[in-house]
Amino acid sequence: MIVKDKRWFFLILWIFFVVAVAMTIISIEGNQVSAERKATLYWGSRGSDVVTLQARLRAWGYYKGSVDGVFGAETSNAVRAFQRRNGIRVDGVVGSGTWAALGFAGGKATTTYAATRGVSRGDSESLLARLVTAEAGAEPYTGKVAVAAVVLNRVRHPSFPNSLAGVVYQPMAFESVSNGWINKAPSREALKAARQALNGWDPTYGAVYFWNPSKPVNAWIWTRNIVTRIGKHVFAK
């Protein structure tokens, strides 16, 4: 009878052990899924992930604004301060590295462009096309490709952020981001232009600046080396 009781005792222990291991695995997988759902965030992003970001930055003393789920100037400054303090590339974009440093390992990675041609797509084509629509909607087709090429040239240039989102949402870089036009749906022609720029067509020959001379611009821009003019835009290095 004693042997029988011991067998039941060890059987119960074994069942508890199996259940505990199973629950641990489920918990870990659940946390990984939750982390993987963390989106890449940048100026203009909204939603629950921004709330999570703001709450963590505020708890750690980097952010003093409202936890409102809107990624604006204060959030961008806090992110940059955090990145600077933690040895992360300071671009104001919350990608996998920044999420991990914030304690959310497994965050969705930001696409980084290292190659000069044929870079990976992801959501890049759509984001680039939206910028082209907002900045060059009335320009000829070549002018649209040229604007997309300038953005990609900035990604590869050491003076600019090394991700597409970082370049597009760099504070004060593009008027269409400041006024919200970037959020409009891209035109079919802009999508095609973005695709061709991603495939390597660069009508600007490496330009990293463009502007419309008919609009007020900083006098400094005219000191740049002008490469070409397409439509209403001037392109320079």
- Give pLDDT tens digits along the chain (237 positions): 444 556 666 666 666 665 555 555 444 444 443 444 578 888 878 888 898 899 889 888 889 988 888 888 889 889 988 888 777 888 888 888 888 888 776 544 333 333 333 334 556 788 899 999 999 999 999 999 999 999 999 998 988 888 888 888 888 889 888 788 888 899 999 999 999 999 889 999 999 999 999 888 888 999 999 999 999 999 999
> What are 235's strand-pairing partners?
210, 228
State whether CATH 1.10.10.2520 applies to domain 124-236.
yes
What are the residue boundaries of the structural domains of the chain, listed by start?
48-101, 124-236
Handedness of CA 45, 46, 47, 51 (dihedral sign): positive
Residue in 217, 110, 208, 211 with CA at minimum distance from that of residue 166: 110
Using alpha carbons, list the distances in angstroms from residue 10 to 13, 23, 94: 5, 20, 50
What tokens does 73 get?
A: 């100037």
Instruction: Give domain 48-101's CATH architecture.
Output: Orthogonal Bundle (1.10)
First to last CA, the chain: 90
Q: Is the pTM of this model over 0.95?
A: no
- Are 151 and 131 in contact by the 8 Å Cβ rule? The answer is yes
In 3-state terms, what secondary structure has residue 141? helix
| Alpha carbon distance 41, 180 (integer Å) | 16
